[in-house]
Structure 1
Amino acid sequence: MSIFLLIVFFILMLIGVPIASALGIAVVGTILVFTDVPISIVIQSMYSSMNSFLMVAVPLFILAGLIMDEGGIAEKIFDFSKSIVGWMTGGLGQVNILASLIFAGMAGSSVADIASTGRLTTNAMTKNNYPLGYAAAVTLITSVLATIVPPSILMIVAASTAGVSIGAALVGGLVPGVIIAVVYMIFNYYYCKKHNYGIKQKFEWKTLRKELIGAFPALLAPLILLAGILSGYFTPTEAAGICVLYMLFIALFVYKGLTFKKLPEIFFKTASLTGTILFIAVTAKAAGWVFEYDGLPSRVAEFIGGVSDSPLVIMLMLFVFLIIVGMFMDATAAIFILVPILMPTVLTVGINPVFFVVFLVVLLSIGLVTPPIGVCLYATCNITGLKIEELSKASLPWLAVTFAILLVFVFVPEIITVPIGWFDL
């Protein structure tokens, strides 16, 4: 059953059928061919899987990201980042990285990061003696930070699917996200110094003070979200609602980059994007039911357990497997399909389930920036005019650095697990 479902799914996807529709057709076809289970039961299961308080966070964070995009918040973040690190070697590259990290703490979506700050940061870099390919590569690769750093939408989805604490998973993504950003900045420094990229900006305390005051309302957002979630004062879903209200307030009344007339359009975009994500989610839930009915999770657990019972060996196997999956499958669909299959194995060999969730999301996020279906790759090509081959080639050094960092997390999982233990989540 499982093999039949996957074959039909990939065939449909290869001929251009949308992912959610391809998965839904494959599920229904498999159930009709192999079982006598009424389709109505599967439909009820799909509906109940989305009738969840936790999943409300997904459309709310999407809405918050769109409000930031339309409300002029991205420009404030860029100018503030420029005042802090613009004076360094490779300064605007550092600004690009820092701005992506700050924006990640508010948006929760890699695509939203590129849509809001991508054109701004890339144009600024090319006007200051950076090659277009390098500027686009920095913009592309740093977008993965929004998938790792809280309030990551994918992290919420993965934690909910795995049945682990969403707050713990979000905290688990914070430290690796910051480490990745710092390593990116170090790499950018040496790469730009070697190739003489960029024009150094003059550091001025006056400018820093001015931009800090201007960006302060926006910078409060990630602090409010993190403080509330870590203290247990509000849940991730409640944090999403607070984020929306706060972003609406500063976009409408502080920065005044948004008008009430634009709100219906933003709400429509939110509904459209949410529908796409949750349609994948409900069909993936049905696929998960088929896999369980067929006994696939236990078979995978037995197979991997037969290879080794070492957590390190298992994680190295998953490292390669998840990168490949991320390159060929939508991250949301992959989470809903793979988590129920792999979680029994992870628990059997003694791997921390929260660590696994964070690790899974980080690795799948690489697929957002790599061919053949990387949505962030296509989005960056769209705003820069580069061909996919050109941008992919320019991104190779950054991908190599990223893989090296992720391997460190495999060998030293305490980087992720220890900070989680600092909080009662």
Structure 2
Amino acid sequence: MHSQPQAIVAPIPEFPGRAASPTSWLAQCEKFLGYLTEIPAALLVLAEICVLFAGVTSRYLFHTPIIWADELASLLFLWLAMFGAVVAFRRGSHMRMTAFVDKASPGTRSRLDLLAVVAALTYLVLIAHPAYEFAVDEMMVTLPAMDISNVWRAAAIPVGVVLIMAMALLRLASFADRKLAASMILAVALLVGALIALQPVLASLGNLNLLIFFVGVVGLLVFSGVPIAFAFGLATLGYIGLTTPTPVGVVIGRMDEGMSHLILLSVPMFVFLGLLIEMTAMAKAMVDFLASLLGHIKGGLSYVLIAAMYLVSGISGSKAADMAAVAPVLFPEMKRRGAKEGDMVALLSASGAQTETIPPSLVLITIGSVTGISIADLFTGGLVPGVVLAIMLSLVVWWRYRSSSQAVDRKAAWRVVGKTLLIAAPALALPFVIRAAVIEGVATATEVSTIGIVYSVCVGLFIYRKFDWRRVGPALIETASLSGAILLIIGAATGMAWALTQSGFSRQLADVMTHLPGGAAGFLAVSIVAFIVLGSVLEGIPAIVLFGPLLFPIAKQLGIHDVQYAMVVVLSMGIGLFAPPFGVGYYAACAISRISPSEGLKPIAGYMLALLAGTILIAVFPWFSIGFLG
């Protein structure tokens, strides 16, 4: 029997103030809903692994592609995302910004926790009927390879919405102060009614509503402790429903689009791979080697984290998946050595932004496709900027740990280093196996994680001989929960990005930037600020599709090299994507790390300033981006 490992951190607590005892009928209902969602969610993760690996082996070994594999994987993926979101809601694992909630008095905290549930329920009630209509409309669409109606996939959204609503209602019914719960529901209902009454006034404000909803409403909800996905969703619904003639049903389509990109399937696959690495003792072997090599240096594993993110970046095509592949390996040992949780998640998030230009980067591929810049040049130009930012982050690590009392080991003899390297070799080979599979065309970025999973299972069974089958089920459920929390945020953010696109904001921004004073330097400076903001709300690919064709020609007219400008843009968006309070990537890092977002707010400031300084260096010195171009 293998002992259970120490958890990275305690899970984010559920909303307190519950009156129901574990034996009450409410608790029994919630337990039943838990079984109803957790078991299918675990089976869906397992099914995705089997489908993707079967696709790889059939195509590469037997030269007979399974033509319906991608369609089936996409169908199962949306169900996985929605069931995972339900599991995450039941476990209280949806990301919340609790910096202010934690500092409030117990009474105020209870009210804010109640508000979080009521706000989530409000969003779900508002989208329930549009989600049903979306699924009905998809009934007329046929999946070409499988020759079945797309309703089998689209139905996942309304089913997931209803299940989360049921969880929210049970949570409200079990709240200790029924009178307070009723008054909170009434207050939110009156607020929604007041906004509907003000619709003519709001519609006349034009793009000022962008500030009202996407800055004011989002900021208020996020800092009140409303889960990030529901805060984004409510702001988008409010903006579209109250200020535009567009039906709110389009939000469901955009949500479906954001959650259905097949490349995102690598997120749950790499989350599960990270759990397997720990379960099979591969993580221990790698950490033992790294500890023998750098254990005598203060903050040594922080440097390893920066380097590891550089090495694995781009393998999966998803930053969330990259972080999921690294954090479970390093965080337990970092915590054992005295690293603070907030600093760990802050560095993980910052290293995600640092590696945005490392090929094969989907953002760089998108830039090349929409602007005509050579993708090979972009890949070549992206390597050195990643190193520059890694050095900047390392300087912050050195500064913070220079006088730290964090535990360090005595410098290991080279004989010990060699022995631990030999033991760790099968585990250390994993990232090279994964990257080689992508480069050699064995598997796509989505499929390659399954090769890593099979490799890890084999190494655990036959080399390290440590594999606890009883932990597979909980690991599958944990994978679904974390993935659902991340993917729901991405879906909500996609809807918000679409709303910004439809507002005409992009054209107005391009017109303003065309007439900036200061020439190339002024244009680069404003581009950095603008893309940090855009990265926090649009993410990389939507922002590039929207602004790339408009701004890259302006940069070229000002004498800025296309590749250099691409690096500045990508890194700036990376800062926005991973910087709280709006950056989706930051919450993905928190979800993967199982660390509350409030823990990382203070330590991440120094890392983000280092990234900003590095981005400015790349803007000032073109050589970093174009020095190795032919």
Question: Which of 50, 55, 59 is the equivalent residue of 2:264?
Answer: 55
1:303 maps to 512
Question: Which of 417, 427, 434 is the equivalent residue of 1:225?
Answer: 434
Which 5+ residue runs of structure 1 have no aligned equivalent?
A: 127-131
Q: Which letter maps to 2:213?
A: V
Deviation at 1:153, TM superposition (A): 12
1:407 maps to 616
Q: Which moved more, 1:184-193 or 1:297-306?
A: 184-193
In 2, Cα distance between equivalents of 1:37 and 1:142: 39
Contact 1:228 1:239 in 2 (8 A): yes
In 1, Cα distance between equivalents of 2:406 and 2:236: 51
1:355 maps to 567
Deviation at 1:300, TM superposition (A): 0.9
CA deviations over 1:343-387 (Å, ceiling 9, x no partner): 34432324447525641454236526999x95599789987x9x9
Alignment of 1:5-404 (within 5 A): 5-9=210-214, 10-15=216-221, 16-87=225-296, 91-102=297-308, 105-106=311-312, 108-110=321-323, 113-124=326-337, 126=338, 137=343, 140-141=346-347, 144-146=350-352, 148-149=354-355, 156=362, 175-182=384-391, 184-185=393-394, 201-230=410-439, 234-308=443-517, 310-321=519-530, 334-335=539-540, 338-348=543-553, 349-350=555-556, 351-352=562-563, 354-356=566-568, 358-364=570-576, 367=579, 375=587, 388=599, 401-404=610-613
Contact 1:23 1:287 in 2 (8 A): yes
Q: Which letter maps to 1:343?
A: G
CA deviations over 1:163-195 (Å, ceiling 9, x no partner): 679998787665444444455556766876678
Could you tell me the TM-score, scaled by structure 1's length? 0.72
Structure number with greater Rg is 2
Q: Using a 3 Å threshold, how does the CA distance of structure 1 residues 363 and 31 change in structure 2: closer, same or farther?
A: closer
Deviation at 1:302, TM superposition (A): 0.8
Q: Which letter maps to 1:96?
A: S
Q: Using a 3 Å threshold, how does the CA distance of structure 1 residues 32 and 77 change in structure 2: closer, same or farther?
A: same
Aligned residues with identical type, % of pairs: 22
Aligned with 2:436: secondary structure? helix
Q: Using a 3 Å threshold, how does the CA distance of structure 1 residues 21 and 189 change in structure 2: closer, same or farther?
A: closer
Deviation at 1:214, TM superposition (A): 1.7
CA deviations over 1:70-110 (Å, ceiling 9, x no partner): 443333222212333345xxx14234312552366458444
Give me the CA root mean square deviation: 4.7
In 1, Cα distance between equivalents of 2:417 and 2:483: 38
Aligned with 2:232: secondary structure? helix
Contact 1:76 1:215 in 2 (8 A): yes
Q: Which letter maps to 2:551?
A: V
Aligned with 1:144: secondary structure? helix
Aligned residues: 404
The structure with the greater share of residues assigned to helix is 1
In 2, Cα distance between equivalents of 1:35 and 1:46: 18
Q: Using a 3 Å threshold, how does the CA distance of structure 1 residues 209 and 96 change in structure 2: closer, same or farther?
A: same
In 1, Cα distance between equivalents of 2:255 and 2:581: 30
Contact 1:167 1:236 in 2 (8 A): no
Contact 1:94 1:188 in 2 (8 A): no
CA deviations over 1:237-277 (Å, ceiling 9, x no partner): 23333333333433454445543322222222222222233
Q: Using a 3 Å threshold, how does the CA distance of structure 1 residues 67 and 186 change in structure 2: closer, same or farther?
A: same
Q: Please say if 1:4 is aligned against 2:213.
A: no
In 2, Cα distance between equivalents of 1:354 and 1:252: 45
In 2, Cα distance between equivalents of 1:48 and 1:78: 39
Deviation at 1:301, TM superposition (A): 0.8
In 2, Cα distance between equivalents of 1:52 and 1:246: 25
1:129 maps to none
Deviation at 1:5, TM superposition (A): 4.7
Contact 1:110 1:147 in 2 (8 A): no
Contact 2:510 2:550 in 1 (8 A): yes
